[in-house]
Amino acid sequence: IHPSIHPSLFSQLSLYSYTSRLLLRLLNFYFFCCIFLCCFMCFLFVRRPLMFTLFKKNLKD
């Protein structure tokens, strides 16, 4: 599309598509972060009792 023929409708559409794409990317990023955080929390939750028991053993010794 030539710059000379540049109606406002087209610019609005391009802007809309751009913003929607950006939002989608942000959502994907947020979703990925949430999954990562959930996995990390589960990992900590599983590891914590082990660490706690080890810590108690160390305290007893």
| Alpha carbons 1 and 22: distance in angstroms, whole number | 22
Determine the average pLDDT of the residues in 12-20.
87
CA 29 vs CA 7, 8, 18, 32, 34: distances in Å = 33, 31, 16, 5, 9
CA 45 from centroid of its chain's CA atoms: 21
In this prediction, residues 13-18 reach a mean pLDDT of 86
Alpha carbon 31 to its chain's center: 4
Instruction: Tell me: pLDDT of 46 over 90.
Output: no
Q: What is the pLDDT at residue 55?
A: 72
Label residue 29 by pLDDT band (50, 70, 90). very high
Upper half-sphere CA count for residue 29 (Cβ side, 13 Å): 6
Q: How confident is the model at residue 48 (pLDDT cuts 50, 70, 90)?
A: confident
What is the domain partition of the chain in residue ranges? Answer: 10-61
Average pLDDT of the residues in 29-35: 94
